[in-house]
Structure 1
Amino acid sequence: MGNHPNQKQMINRFSRIIGHTEAIKRMIIEEKECEDILIQIAAVRSALNNAGKIILKEHISHCTTDAVRNNDSEALDKLNKAIDKFMK
């Protein structure tokens, strides 16, 4: 991720995601309703996707722009592979 301008915000975002996943675990242990658990899983999935989009946008804005300027095709190949893995 390198020198991310919003590193503190991303750490806080992932701390909240971790908290949500721990809450889901507790819900399962406490045998809460499946519907409620699924809603929470969907919320975590959405939060992870949004965090991934932020990181991807920052990567494109900084690293990829520099790679294009420097004619670095390897960096662009890495970006394409990362997008493929992220979109699975």
Structure 2
Amino acid sequence: MANTHTHTHTKGVINRLARVEGHVRSIKEMVISGRDCSEILIQLAAVESALRRTGKLILEDHLEHCITDAINDGDQKEALANFKDALTKFIR
């Protein structure tokens, strides 16, 4: 099971995710109401961008806290392997 902890940007990440959640709901309503496909695609791109920015905040916290702590605790090989795996999945 993963460790549970908080970071510098936890509140900001939660707020961003709440906005994304609301945005996705409104896009769903756009689809239901038959709005123009171009408008829907623009909104989907905005959600994608918001999620990417949120991921960058999480990545920043991960580097500043998780990786630093693991290296300080002598777990650098495992920490770097986990980071590499997470980064590879994030930038796909």
Instruction: Tell me which of the two structures has the higher relative contact order, counting C-alpha pairs closer than 8 angstroms and 6 or more residues apart.
Output: 2
Instruction: Name structure 2 gaps, 5 residues minimum.
Output: none
Deviation at 1:69, TM superposition (A): 2.7
Deviation at 1:3, TM superposition (A): 1.5
Runs of 4+ in 1 over 6 A off after TM superposition: none
* TM-score, length of structure 2 as denominator length: 0.88
1:45 lines up with 2:51 in the alignment: no
* TM-score, length of structure 1 as denominator length: 0.91
1:83 lines up with 2:87 in the alignment: yes
Determine if contact 2:7/2:65 at 8 Å carries over to the other structure. no
Question: How many pairs align?
Answer: 88
Q: Structure 1 vs Structure 2: percent identity of aligned residues?
A: 45
- Quick one: distance in 1 between partners of 2:73 and 2:10? 26
Instruction: Name structure 1 gaps, 5 residues minimum.
Output: none
Deviation at 1:23, TM superposition (A): 0.6
Aligned positions of 1:8-23 closer than 5 A: 8-23=11-26
Instruction: Tell me which amino acid in the other structure corresponds to 2:67.
Output: T
- Pairwise CA RMSD of aligned residues? 1.3
Determine if contact 2:27/2:44 at 8 Å carries over to the other structure. yes
Q: 2:73 aligns with which of 70, 82, 86?
A: 70
